[in-house]
Structure 1
Amino acid sequence: MYAMTIPEPGGPEALKWTEVPDPVAGEGEVLVEVVATAVNRADLLQRQGHYSPPPGASPYPGLECSGRIVALGAGVSGWAVGDEVCALLSGGGYAERVAVPVGQLLPVPKGLSLVEAAALPEVAATVWSNVFMVAHLRPTETVLLHGGASGIGTMAIQLAKAVGAKVLVTAGSAEKLARCRELGADVGINYREQDFVEAVREATDGAGVDVILDIMGAKYLQRNVDALAVNGRVVIIGLQGGVKGELDLGTMLRKRAAVVATNLRGRPLAEKAAIVAAVREHIWPLIESGVVKPVVDRVLPLTEAGAGHRVLEVGEQVGKVVLQV
């Protein structure tokens, strides 16, 4: 088969479409013929040499895919050759075929194409595991989503609104904030023009927000805590603003606040399977009813993955960049 390889770390041009050995479905796995995958920021980090795949994972980028099952490994039940699926991956989505642990498979939601479905697994699993399983966002609470126009942000807006939360988002342009409002965001904050802490206080009558989903890390650490309500929770899932920061523990004590940092890619198979099962139970019905929709910014050929990486690097997109085989 062919896959997008990274012979040497570097810029988008480092991605090379290369003939490589076919993967084989091991015990508890299925082999998927890939129709589409999507670009995630972790792919950019891997290409740059900063984020190696977990032990045993495919060396090729790609944390999600959609396609059709072409072979079943030993011990697999409940799926058949020919089934249309999408999947959460530890790597290998930028390829013509990939072996997937059966616990990370999802059926394609009714009414969606395979290309649309490729935009779902990573954002759905990330948002559900962090906003709901870790931060326990509840109806009537308020959530602040940094990077509201991103793939994760566009999914989080819709899910938070679906459960009855008030949604605040940050983004870097009026156009992106307008798209976020179309998806259900109640308050848009242009981080280039406003201090988001002051904007949060104004929007919440000084109370602060209950949950923050953060992609920035160190740069926003103290300000996130300052923006929290009493008993508030910050969940850090990205480090675009650095890895080391200072934190006023006195503020955390007064607010009885929690700061949690998590990732998805390196979790054990059983944890990923539990998250995927929760996604299928809670999010798939919302998608099939039309309450939640995948947000696809553009579709590019997989052989032009480098162009997709450039889009994310400059922040042009709203939602997901999908790569079609």
Structure 2
Amino acid sequence: RLMGLVGGGAWSEVLTTHEREVLRMPQGMDFADAAALPEAYLTAWDALVLQADLRPGETVLVHAVASGVGSAAALLCRAMGVRVVGTGRNASKLARASEWGVERTVLCESSPPVFADAVLAATGGRGADVCLDLVGGNYLPESLKAMAPRGRLMQVGSVAGSRADVDLGVVMRKRLRITGTVLRSRPAEEKMALTQAAERQLLPLFESGALKAVVDEVLPMTDIRSGLERMAGNSTVGKLVVRWDD
């Protein structure tokens, strides 16, 4: 019973991947949860823990907190003793965030979004130590305002666009660090090393019950169009999983 990473092309009955990019499934985990786990959790864990050096007691700002990677990040932070402020564009989805330990949510309905004041208020004026930005675009300038001195911003997504106007003065005054990261396009050896590290350090948290996969719905492959339409409409929470009928 295995799960793992693939560089695309996973909507198939049979696929191949390198043996070092697979993980053993935790005891008692079903295949739907296993399908939802690797890419979401390895992306969040790599960005927050391995790259941003997240520490217990810090505060993380997570954009799109009800997404697959966002919900994984929130649960990971809860397991580490880290506070989370989460943003989103859908009020009903944000209402679920408290289940994952998110202390404060901010609904971002305007464009450009406005959330920095709420983050500063939630942190006593200090700001977020780390930002996991799964959105990009015009979220970036406001994220910089919301950061604490010497904060670390991890740019993981760009669904709102790959360009933004940045006030470099804010970056310099606060001594911020901005790191771009993506999992899929990395060399195979890097993904193998990440997968093996996750098996040693991340999987025990699933076996203990501290972490879980967040699955919105399990759909038969014949209904994949409706699943993609739900994703396009921003109505899913966590991951959608598709299965092949027996």
Q: How many angstroms does 1:124 deviate by? A: 1.2
Where does residue 156 of structure 2 map in the other structure?
237
Q: After TM superposition, where is structure 1 displaced by more than 3 Å over at least 4 residues in a row?
A: none
- Confirm or deny that 1:179 pairs with 2:96: yes
Q: How many angstroms does 1:283 deviate by? A: 1.9
* 8 Å contact from structure 1 (residues 124, 279) kept in 2: no
Partner Cα separation in structure 2 for residue 262 and residue 214 of structure 1 = 10
- Confirm or deny that 1:96 pairs with 2:13: yes
Matches for 1:73-88 after TM superposition, within 5 Å: 84-88=1-5
Where does residue 71 of structure 2 map in the other structure?
154
**TM-score normalised according to structure 2 size:** 0.95
Matches for 1:11-22 after TM superposition, within 5 Å: none
Identity of aligned residues (%): 39
Please tell me the root mean square deviation across aligned C-alpha atoms, in Å. Answer: 1.3
Partner Cα separation in structure 2 for residue 96 and residue 241 of structure 1 = 33
Where does residue 206 of structure 1 map in the other structure?
125
**For the pair shown, which has the larger CA radius of gyration, 1 or 2?**
1
The amino acid of 2:157's aligned partner reads G
Partner Cα separation in structure 2 for residue 319 and residue 199 of structure 1 = 24
Partner Cα separation in structure 2 for residue 207 and residue 180 of structure 1 = 22
> In structure 1, the residue corresponding to 2:17 is in which secondary structure?
strand
Report the structure, 1 or 2, having the larger strand content: 1
> In structure 1, the residue corresponding to 2:61 is in which secondary structure?
strand
Partner Cα separation in structure 2 for residue 116 and residue 215 of structure 1 = 22
Deviation string, structure 1 residues 218-248 (Cα, Å, up to 9, x no partner): 2111111111000101111111111111211
Partner Cα separation in structure 2 for residue 315 and residue 242 of structure 1 = 16
> In structure 2, the residue corresponding to 1:224 is in which secondary structure?
helix
- Confirm or deny that 1:163 pairs with 2:80: yes
> In structure 2, the residue corresponding to 1:309 is in which secondary structure?
helix
Task: Return the structure number with greater relative CO, CA threshold 8 A, min gap 6.
Answer: 2
Where does residue 59 of structure 1 map in the other structure?
none
Report the structure, 1 or 2, having the larger helix content: 2
Where does residue 42 of structure 2 map in the other structure?
125
Partner Cα separation in structure 2 for residue 269 and residue 173 of structure 1 = 36
| Counterpart selection for 1:114 from 31, 49, 53 | 31
* 8 Å contact from structure 2 (residues 116, 146) kept in 1: yes
Where does residue 292 of structure 1 map in the other structure?
211
| Counterpart selection for 1:226 from 140, 145, 162 | 145
Which 5+ residue runs of structure 2 have no aligned equivalent?
none
Partner Cα separation in structure 2 for residue 253 and residue 129 of structure 1 = 25
Deviation string, structure 1 residues 45-79 (Cα, Å, up to 9, x no partner): xxxxxxxxxxxxxxxxxxxxxxxxxxxxxxxxxxx
Partner Cα separation in structure 2 for residue 231 and residue 243 of structure 1 = 24
Which 5+ residue runs of structure 1 have no aligned equivalent?
1-83
**TM-score normalised according to structure 1 size:** 0.72
* 8 Å contact from structure 2 (residues 114, 142) kept in 1: no
* 8 Å contact from structure 2 (residues 153, 178) kept in 1: yes
Where does residue 236 of structure 2 map in the other structure?
317
Q: How many angstroms does 1:155 deviate by? A: 0.7
Partner Cα separation in structure 2 for residue 124 and residue 278 of structure 1 = 12
* 8 Å contact from structure 2 (residues 214, 238) kept in 1: yes
| Counterpart selection for 1:265 from 161, 178, 184 | 184
| Counterpart selection for 1:105 from 14, 22, 26 | 22
Deviation string, structure 1 residues 4-62 (Cα, Å, up to 9, x no partner): xxxxxxxxxxxxxxxxxxxxxxxxxxxxxxxxxxxxxxxxxxxxxxxxxxxxxxxxxxx
